[in-house]
Amino acid sequence: MSHQSQPSAEQPNPLASAHRATQAVWGGEGGTHWERSTQTPVVNSVSFGYGDCDEWRRVALGETPGHIYGRNTNPTVRVFEEKVRLLEGAAAATSFATGMAAISDTLFTLLAPGDRVVSVVDTYGGTNRLFSEFLPRVGVVVELCQTENAEAIEQAIDAGLRVLYLETPTNPTCKVLDLARLARRAHERGASVVVDNTFATPINQQPLQLGADLVIHSATKFLGGHADALGGVLVGDAELVHSVYRRREITGATLHPEAAYLLLRGMKTLALRVERQNFNAMTVARHLRQHPRVAKVFYPGLEDHPNHDIAKQQMTGGFGGVLSFQLHGEFDAVKRFLPRLRLAHRAANLGAVETVVAPPATGSHVELTAEQRAALGIPETLVRYSCGIEDVRDLIADLDQALKA
């Protein structure tokens, strides 16, 4: 697993003991670049040539470092993988064209007909569709538990499973799961534990240290941070990552080197951005909690959040840049409120340097009906608010004027 023709895997690296802000800048980028460039170049070559058949064969078999074909590995992409691997403290990493490609390839690799997967009802809408529609089609047994009921999740684990899939904080209701507790219970049953760490980022939360076997990111979000590149990444146990990589190289959901370059550039400011977004989200959440036109605020950093103690224990860097809040009234209140915002993109995204706002009814859970969203605990008047890096005083003023509607 130490060869470039395989997923990025652990090698001796002085950055392994560096702080995450330093890893975000320097991780994976210690090699020699073209013409002594200080930045990782974009390598757009589809194939990599060899004049010697023996060397070609050794690289193709993973016996010698190198690259063969762009669908499998690429020098630019490998630097991105290595940076995320270091940030998460993982043994190996592999990347994908999108976050959903990472999630679906991982689940379809680890699960076979007759296997059982346990998760929670509060997952991203696309993930929820995998559980409710696609996995059952191939004979996988799916059990989705109420997110806030740890005992029910443990009972589902005790009934036997192949995979425990968790997302924390959840999208969009910002519930928090006790990763160490649930991972320990799943491992007692011989299961693999997969955690979507997109909302928290490796700056705020380290699921592998809490017992997870694999960690997934939609790199499109906070890792890239500029809403200009799609990507996904999986890190964790070397053997498990390699098994998913083997599927990905055949299904072809390959991260493009141009996207990898943009994600790398964005990640150099990851620690700075997340620190500011943590602060902005906490400040906005506290403000909205007192606003007469807001019925409820969902943010794990608030002391009255039902999972605040767990979040405080496992989210050591901060509580994230995303909050959600419920307006009084019906969906018409959301339709009046959103167009009045001046400092927020109304778009299906999060984690960008600009603030992004979306109701789940048109964004993260648009695939579901109103009744299905209600069953998941997502009211129609819920608004997901992903804080950017703007001055928080301007964000609060913008929210206040929009809420007057």
Residues annotated as catalytic are: 71, 124, 196, 221
CA distance 9 to 2: 5
Q: Which amino acid is at 241?
A: V
Expressed in angstroms, the distance from the first to the final Cα of the chain is 57
User: CA dist 386 to 68, 125, 272, 395, 399, Å?
Assistant: 40, 17, 16, 11, 13
Q: Torsion-angle region of residue 201: left (phi > 0), alpha (psi -120 to 50) or beta?
A: left
Indicate the SS3 state at residue 38: coil
Q: Which of 387, 95, 70 is nearest to 219 (CA)?
A: 95
Rounded Cα distance, 53 and 67, in Å: 14
CA distance 20 to 89: 10
**3-state secondary structure at position 187:** helix
3-state secondary structure of 169: coil
Two tokens, residue 221: 């979000």
**Token pair in block for residue 204:** 């705020």
Residue with tokens 């103690």: 309
